[in-house]
Amino acid sequence: MTPWVKRILFANVAMYLLILASPAVGNVLMFVPALLPTRPWTVVTYMFLHAGLWHIGFNMLALYFFGPAVETRLGGRNFVGLYLSSGIMGAVLSIPFTPHAAIVGASGAVFGVMLAFARYWPRQRIYIWGVLPIEARWMVILMTAFSLWAGFGGAQSGVAHFAHLGGFLGGFLYLKWMDWRSPARRFKQKAQVVPPPPRDPDQALERWKRIRREDIHPVNRDEVDRLLDKISREGVKSLTPDERALLERFAGR
């Protein structure tokens, strides 16, 4: 088990035992959307509370199965960010739909972890109840569809379906944010060829004709000749942005 999965499991079990000993503490830590202005801390604390043994058992079992692989892939800091972002979004999405409900549970946070698992290992088979096989991607899709159906009146079970949907949404947004700030994306942007600004076709052609072929590699020399022949046949406008960029690069030497 990875470090943060272990810590989160321990925190949830410890809180569960604390609430069993002092139920009044749970009233202060549970999330009630209508009371958010006076109890802002509950958007975080609610995800460490559970309504019963089955509730905490399901959430912690899911965290135990999916969490280590995701934490190993993302690293500890991003794993915690994913977990908390998913849980907080679960609370936020509950505000307009269930403003007076008392919401507890790590389900939103765990659903974000499950989404991350399905994203990185979409075809990994999951065995529901240890018997029914389903690929991770289909499991998330079906759980989303069920939560939408149940949340909008399909089932009145007291389950915080919008917190589940918020967990998926929070996980999705956090992973997108990770992609946006990743070094790989920035490197790819820098490596992309930026088309040169539009030039007068005649002036550009004169510049390209003055390219010193003896100063460039034979492979590039052949490509320059090919492009100049293309211009002779079809005109400057026939060049693609990448072809113009190549000629500009050699003309600027």
146 within some domain: yes
pLDDT at 92: 93
- Are 126 and 216 within one domain? no
94 within some domain: yes
- Are 51 and 126 within one domain? yes
79 within some domain: yes
pLDDT at 187: 56
- Are 238 and 179 within one domain? no
Which residues 6+ apart lie within 8 Å of 203 measured at CB? none
Q: Which of 154, 186, 218 is the last residue of a domain?
A: 186
- Are 128 and 13 within one domain? yes
193 within some domain: no
Count other Cβ atoms within 10 Å, centred on residue 25. 14
195 within some domain: no
Residue type, 28: V
192 within some domain: no
- Are 174 and 226 within one domain? no
57 within some domain: yes
Count other Cβ atoms within 10 Å, centred on residue 176. 10
pLDDT at 131: 74
By annotation, the residues acting in catalysis are 107, 164
Domain tally for the chain? 2
- Are 179 and 244 within one domain? no
- Are 233 and 126 within one domain? no
241 within some domain: yes
Count other Cβ atoms within 10 Å, centred on residue 155. 13
pLDDT at 248: 84
Closest alpha carbon to 226 in 214, 241, 208? 208
pLDDT at 190: 55
Please report the beta strands in 57-200, taking only residues with DSSP state E, as ranges in sequence order.
125-128, 132-135
- Are 104 and 220 within one domain? no
**CA 48/CA 20 separation, integer angstroms:** 13
Residue type, 27: N
Closest alpha carbon to 80 in 89, 71, 68? 71
Count other Cβ atoms within 10 Å, centred on residue 238. 11
pTM exceeding 0.75: no
3-state SS string over 191-212?
Answer: HCCCCCCCCCHHHHHHHHHCCC
- Are 233 and 128 within one domain? no
- Are 25 and 93 within one domain? yes
Sequential pLDDT tens for the chain (253 residues): 899 999 999 999 999 999 999 989 999 999 999 999 999 999 999 999 998 899 999 899 999 999 999 999 999 999 999 999 999 999 999 999 888 889 998 989 999 999 999 999 988 888 776 778 888 888 888 888 877 777 666 555 567 778 888 999 999 999 999 988 876 655 555 555 444 544 567 777 888 888 887 777 776 788 888 888 888 888 888 888 888 888 888 887 6
- Are 86 and 209 within one domain? no
**CA 45/CA 27 separation, integer angstroms:** 11
- Are 21 and 123 within one domain? yes
Q: Domain with 153 in it: what CATH number?
A: 1.20.1540.10
Structural domain of residue 42, as residue ranges?
Answer: 3-186
Q: Which of 158, 186, 214 is the last residue of a domain?
A: 186
